[in-house]
Amino acid sequence: MMTQELKSLLGSPAERLGFLAAIQAGLPAVHFERISRLFQLLDLLLNLLEKKSLSIAKLRRLCFGAPTESARNVCGQPAAGDQRPAKAKGHGRNSHRRYTGARRVRVAHPALSAGQTCPACAQGKLRQRQDPAVAITVTAQPPVGALIHELEQLLCRSA
């Protein structure tokens, strides 16, 4: 809901129409048309603000259009024959198996080993997981190289 100060400053819709009728005779038609459209815009914006469904971002888009000049925003949707082929799905990262020439370094757990009692539950025994955790370091010096660290992972049987 608008505050009383704003309502008194802008006047009621009837007062705005009365103002337009009073100045119509003294202005050229072009100027009167422009002022009339400004008052219509004011009424539209006040109605939108009273509904509280208009954010500042939506108001900016409504007044100034799209923030970028991409072809989609300027020209609309492309024709059916002008569409590009869809991009291949995936995250764009390579698996450690793709680095065939990389040097592999096995890293054992610094404090624990397979067969020891689990420090968390003190009941079960630790066993080695089949697949290690993998960390890849790629060096971008010519030639491009990679170093794969295979980190030992231990798992408690009782947990």
Q: Is residue 81 part of a domain?
A: no
Tokens of 54: 């208009």
Comparison of pLDDT for 141 and 5, the residue scoring more: 141
Give bridge partners of residue 127 from the DSSP assignment.
155
Q: Is residue 60 part of a domain?
A: yes
Inform me whether the pLDDT recorded for 53 exceeds 50. Answer: yes
pLDDT at 135: 86
**What would the pLDDT profile of 10-35 be if each residue is shown by its tens digit?**
778 788 888 888 888 888 889 989 98
Domain ranges, residue 140: 96-156
**What would the pLDDT profile of 105-143 be if each residue is shown by its tens digit?**
989 888 888 888 888 888 889 998 888 888 888 887 777
CA-CA distance, 19 to 101, in Å (whole number)? 82
Domain boundary among 75, 105, 138: 75
100 and 61 within one domain? no
Q: Is residue 44 part of a domain?
A: yes
Domain boundary among 75, 104, 136: 75
57 and 110 within one domain? no
pLDDT at 1: 46
Q: Is residue 87 part of a domain?
A: no
Residues 6+ apart with CB under 8 A from 127: 114, 115, 154, 155, 156, 157
68 and 9 within one domain? yes
67 and 126 within one domain? no
What is the count of structural domains for the chain?
2
Inform me whether the pLDDT recorded for 81 exceeds 70. Answer: no
pLDDT at 78: 63
100 and 70 within one domain? no
Q: Is residue 84 part of a domain?
A: no
Q: Is residue 91 part of a domain?
A: no
Q: Is residue 108 part of a domain?
A: yes
CA-CA distance, 32 to 10, in Å (whole number)? 18
Domain boundary among 75, 105, 126: 75
